[in-house]
Structure formats: structure tokens, C-alpha cells
A = this chain, B = another copy of it.
Amino acid sequence: MREPRGERKRRANGEESRRRILDAAAEVAGVRGYDGTSIALVSEKCGLPASSIYWHFKNKDDLLAAVIERSFDIWADALTLPGDDTDPAPDRVAALAGQVAKTLLDSPDFLRLGLMLTLERRPEEPSARRMFLQVRDTARARLAAVLATLAPSADRDAIELVTTYAIAAADGLFIAKEIGGDSVDLMPLFDLHARALHDALVRLTTETS
């Protein structure tokens, strides 16, 4: 009915198309946020028509949730917790903080989109937001476990408090970097942060013992 189109219809390849869509969506959403991410923009970036995106994902919400999920996996994979049990605690905290700083610099889309989703509220919570909060909670649990080994005598609530602070400051530093760009050197900031965490853990240990 319609002319067969000059360029060969490229061989259908679901796996690859899905990846291309996710790549494009991650790139766009990491920069423009939920509302700012239009299907047309993603379509343009990935080279597939908008209707093809809907073959792979139920809707925009579903797409962005998948973006968050994959971004987290990539980020979590990059984050190899350093050091071993024989190292002194301060060094381990500092190394951990440095590692987090590095991965946030390397793959910032996950956190940037996640924070945007976190701050926005809309009538129907996007499942992308729910997904972010969920994976963030996973990461938080892991960090709490690490901190617990560093301050074995501290009680649960205290560990939770420090964990919350640790993540909050990391979020804030990420934002500071987003704002300041090259004028912000994250390394000394994360050093300062690491020292703050260490001191807090020490204080907890002595106070509760």
C-alpha cells in the first residue's frame, strides 16, 4: 500500500532496540526530568519511531521506571566496596566515601533523575519514583550494614541516624557538584564528609559503651 521505503527495514531485534530506547531515555531523563522527557525526544535520540517505544514499554511511566532500575544496577555494579576487615576504620570510611564520590561522578544520571523524581509530587505517583525509592532503600540497607560493622557496639537507631546523614550529605554534595561544575572539587568535600561520619561513629561507640 505504501512504498516499501528505500532504506532496508532493519532486521527486527527486540533486545537491541530495547537497549537503545533505554539508553536514549536515560540520557534525556537524566537531564530533563520526568515531565521534560517527551517520547518524541526519546524517539528522535534512539532512531525508533514513538510507536515502537510503546511496543517495548507500556507507557512513559513504565519506560522511566525501567530507566531507573537499570541505572541503579549500573551504578551499584560500579560501586565495589573497598578495603577489608583488617584495615583501620577511618581509612575504610574514607575509601568508601571516595568510591561513592567517584561513581556519582561517573554515572550521575541515576541519582539526578532519582532526586528529581523524589522532589516532584503529582496526583498519581509515577512508578519510576517508587522504583527509585525502592532501590535507594536497598542501597541504604547495605550502607547501614557496613557502618554497623565499623561501630559494632552502636545501637540500631544510632546507626540509622548516621546512615541517613551519610546519604543525605552525599546527595547534597552531588547537587553541589551539579551546581558548581568544575569549580567544585568533590574529593576534599567527601574527605570532610568521611571524617564527619567517622567521628560520629566513634562518638556513638563511646557514648553507648
Which residues does A use to contact B, with CB under 8 Å? 31-36, 112, 115-116, 118-122, 133, 136, 161-162, 164-165, 167-173, 175-176, 178-180, 184, 188-189, 192-193, 195-196, 199-200, 203
Specify which chain B residues have a CB less than 8 angstroms from the CB of A118 in the assembled complex. 175, 178-179
- What is the oligomeric copy number? 4
CB distance from A22 to the nearest CB of B (A): 20
Question: Can you name the residue of chain B whose Cβ is closest to the Cβ of A189?
Answer: B165
Residue A173 contacts which of B136, B165, B179, B184 (CB distance < 8 angstroms)? Answer: B165
Verify A168–B176 contact, CB threshold 8 A: yes
CB distance from A138 to the nearest CB of B (A): 14
A sample of 4 more A-B contacts (CB under 8 A), given A118-B179, A164-B184, is: A33-B35, A168-B189, A171-B172, A196-B196
Verify A119–B189 contact, CB threshold 8 A: no
Specify which chain B residues have a CB less than 8 angstroms from the CB of A184 in the assembled complex. 164
